[in-house]
Chains A and B, each alone.
Chain A
Amino acid sequence: MIRLENVTKVYEGGTIAANDVSLDIPKGEFIFLVGPSGSGKSTLIRLMLRDEPVTRGKIWVSGKDITTLPKWKIPYLRRSVGTVFQDYKLLPNKTVAENVGFALEVLGRPRSVIAPQVAQVLDLVGLADKAKRYPRQLSGGEQQRVSVARAFVNRPPIMLCDEPTGNLDPKTSVGIMRLLDRINRTGTTIVMATHDHAIVDAMQRRVIALDEGKVVRDDVLGTYEGLGEEE
C-alpha cells in the first residue's frame, strides 16, 4: 500500500529530517510512528502526502511513485488519502456537516450524494446531533471527531494522522483511538505519528521508532519503549 525506499529529506540549511528511510506498509495495517520531537515523524507524514518533495529516494502510494507525480496530479493523491492533524484544521465558518461535506464538494459530488454520506459518517463518529454546530461550539475531542469524519467521508484507502490526540485529554484520546481502530477494521490503512506512550502501549500494533530521521526500531506488535515483539 505504502512503500518508502531510501527516502532522505534534507531541508534548506542542512537539517536532515529523514535519513535513508525504507518502509513497507501493507494494506489494512495500523502503524504508529513514534519518537521524540524533531525525530522526523511529521516529515514522513508530509512526504507521504506530497506536502514536501523528497531530497532522495522513492515513495509509492497505492502502487504509484508519488515523488515524480506532476503538480497537477497531487490533488488526486490527496483525495485518496485522509488526513487528521493535531490542530483539527476545521473551517471555522462552516458547520460540522459543511466541514465534512467539504471533502466531497472538492470531488464534485452532487448534493444528493453528499447529504446522506455526511449523515452516515457523522453517525459513525457520534456527532449526528451536532451537524449544524460550528467548530467553536464543540469540545476538542468533538472537533477531532469532525476531522476524522472529514478524512473518512469519501472512504479513502489510507489515513495519515499526525498527533491526532496531541491536544486531547487521555479519556478523549481513547475515544478517538477507538474510532480510528474501527475505521482500520474496515480495511483502511492507518499511519499515525504520536508520542503518546499510553495509546501505543494499549493498542499493541506495529511501531516504527524514529530518531534523528532514521528508523531505529520496527516492531510488529510493539510498545512505545520497544518491549514488544521484534520483527
Chain B
Amino acid sequence: MSRILFLIREAFVSLRRNLLIVAGAILAVFISLTLAFGALVVNEILRINTLAWQDGVHVIAFLNDAGENGVPSNAHEVLLEDVRGWDEVDQARYVSKAEAWIEYQELFAGQEELLDIDPTILPASIRIELVDIALHNSVKFRLDQQTQVVRQVTTAADSIEQLQNLSNVLNVLGLGLAVALGLSAIVLIANTIRLAIYARREEVAIMKLVGASNWFIRVPFLLEGMIEGVAGASLAVFTVWLGSTSLARAGEGFALFRLDVGQDWFLSWGLLFLAFGALAGIVGSLMGLSRYLRDADGTGPDTPAGF
C-alpha cells in the first residue's frame, strides 16, 4: 500500500514538474479525441434520423374515390388486401376519407383559413411500411400499374437513401479519422513520456542504482501517461457533449430533423472514450519507455565511459 501511494505521488510530482510538456500532451489528446468524438456524434445524429424515417411510412398511395368514375365500390379493400400480400410490404394501413379529414384537422388545428375546405376532396390512402427501404421503387411501380384506383404514389425513400449514403460515407470517414487521430494521440503521449524520461534521466539512473526494478520505474510514467490520456479524453467528451446539447437545444421544435443523441448514448460512448484515453496513455508511455529502459539495463550497447 505504501509502495502504491509512493508511486502515485511520484507520478503527480512528475506531472507538476513538467507542466508545459504535460499540457501539450493533454491538448493533443483533447484535439484528437474531440474531432473523433465529434465525427461520431454527427454520424449518430444521421443514424437516428435515418431510423426515424425508416420507422415511419415509406410509401403512400392516394386513392380515387370508390364507386365513382368506374372505380368499383370494393376497390380500396381489394387493393389493400393485394398490397398486404406483397413480399416487399411489412405493414399496410388504410386511411379512409373521414380519417384523412380528422388527420387534416389535427394537423392544421387553429388555422381556420386552412380548415375552411370541402372535406370530401381529401382522398383515402394506403400507408405502406416496407420490409426494406431499398424496395420502394418496386412497390411504387406496382402501385402505378393500378391506374384505376391509385391516384398518386409518393415515397420518402429518396431522402432516406441520401441520408443512408451520407451516413455510410461518414461512417468510413469517422472511423478513419478516429483511427488516425487515436494513433496520433498515442504517438504524442509517447513523445511526452520520452521527454519526461529524458528530463528525469539522472533520477531514473539513480533509481536503478539503488535497486529499483523496471516496473517500479515504469509505473509512475505509466500513471502519468494514463492521467494525461484520461484528462485529454475527459475534456474532449465534455466539449463534444456541450456542443451537442447546445445544438440539440437550438434545434428543439425542428420536427423534421432530430439533433439530440440522448444521454445514454453519450454516457456509454463517453466512458468508452475515457477508457481509450487511458489506454492510449498507457500504450504511449510503454512506447516511450521501452527503448530507454532497454538501453539503461546495463546490457545495452557497450560504451567505455570513464573506466
Binding site for B on A (CB under 8 A): 11-13, 15, 17, 38, 40-43, 46, 49-53, 71-72, 74-79, 83, 89-91, 93, 102-103, 105-111, 150
Stretch from B27-35, B123-131, B297-305 that touches the partner: B297-305
Contact B203 A71 (CB under 8 A): no
- Pick the contact of A74: B1, B205, B206, B298 (CB < 8 A): B298
What is the 8 Å Cβ interface bit string for chain B, positions 210-226, against chain A (1 contact, 0 not)?
Answer: 11111010000000000
Q: Are B298 and A12 in contact (CB under 8 A)?
A: no
**Is B145 interfacial (CB-CB < 8 Å)?**
no
Contact of B209 among A71, A89, A107, A109 (CB under 8 A): A89
Closest to A52 in B: B298
Q: Is the CB of A11 within 8 A of B302?
A: yes
Within 8 A of A (CB), among B178-237: 202-203, 205-214, 216
28 interchain pairs, CB-CB under 8 A:
A11-B303, A11-B307, A12-B303, A41-B307, A42-B306, A49-B209, A52-B298, A53-B298, A53-B299, A53-B302, A71-B297, A72-B214, A75-B212, A75-B213, A75-B214, A79-B211, A89-B205, A89-B206, A89-B209, A91-B206, A93-B13, A102-B206, A105-B2, A106-B207, A106-B211, A106-B212, A108-B3, A110-B2
Q: CB-CB < 8 A to A111: which residues of B?
A: 2
User: What sequence of 0s and 1s flags, for each residue 265-307 of chain B, a beta carbon within 8 Å of any chain A beta carbon?
Assistant: 0000000000000000000000000000000011101111011
Contacts of A105 in B (CB 8 A): 2-3, 6
B17 at the interface (CB under 8 A from A): yes
One of B210, B212, B304 near A150 (C-beta < 8 A): B210
What A residues does B307 contact at CB under 8 A? 11, 17, 38, 40-43, 46
Contact indicator per residue, chain B 110-148, by CB within 8 Å of chain A (1) or not (0): 000000000000000000000000000000000000000
What is the bound-complex CA distance between A103 and B13, given in angstroms? 18
**Which A residue's beta carbon lies closest to that of B5?**
A111
Contact of A52 with B2 at beta-carbon distance under 8 Å, contacts A91-B206, A106-B211, A106-B216 already known: no
How many inter-chain residue pairs (CB < 8 Å) link A and B?
A: 79
B17 proximity list for chain A (CB < 8 A): 93
Determine whether the beta carbon of A102 is less than 8 Å from that of B2.
no
Contact of A50 among B202, B207, B298 (CB under 8 A): B298
A109 vs B6: C-alpha distance when bound (angstroms): 11
Taking a contact as CB atoms under 8 Å apart, the answer to whether B210 and A102 are in contact is: yes
Minimal beta-carbon separation of B301 from chain A (angstroms): 7
Residues of A within 8 A of B203 (CB): 91
Nearest A residue to B206, CB-CB? A89
User: Measured between alpha carbons, how far is A91 from B200 in the docked complex, in Å?
Assistant: 10
Alpha-carbon distance between A103 and B211 when the two chains are bound, in angstroms: 8
Q: Are B211 and A108 in contact (CB under 8 A)?
A: no
Taking CB atoms, residues of chain A closer than 8 Å to B205 are: 89
Contacts of A38 in B (CB 8 A): 307
Interface string of B1-41 (1 = CB under 8 A from A): 11100100000010001000000000000000000000000
Chain B residues contacting A75 (CB-CB under 8 Å) are 208, 211-214, 216
A91 CA / B209 CA spacing, docked (Å)? 12
Min CB gap A58→B, angstroms = 17
Give chain B nearest CB distance to A204 CB in angstroms: 27
* A71-B299 contact given A91-B203, A109-B2, CB 8 Å threshold: yes
Please tell me if the beta carbons of B304 and A78 are within 8 angstroms of each other in the complex: no
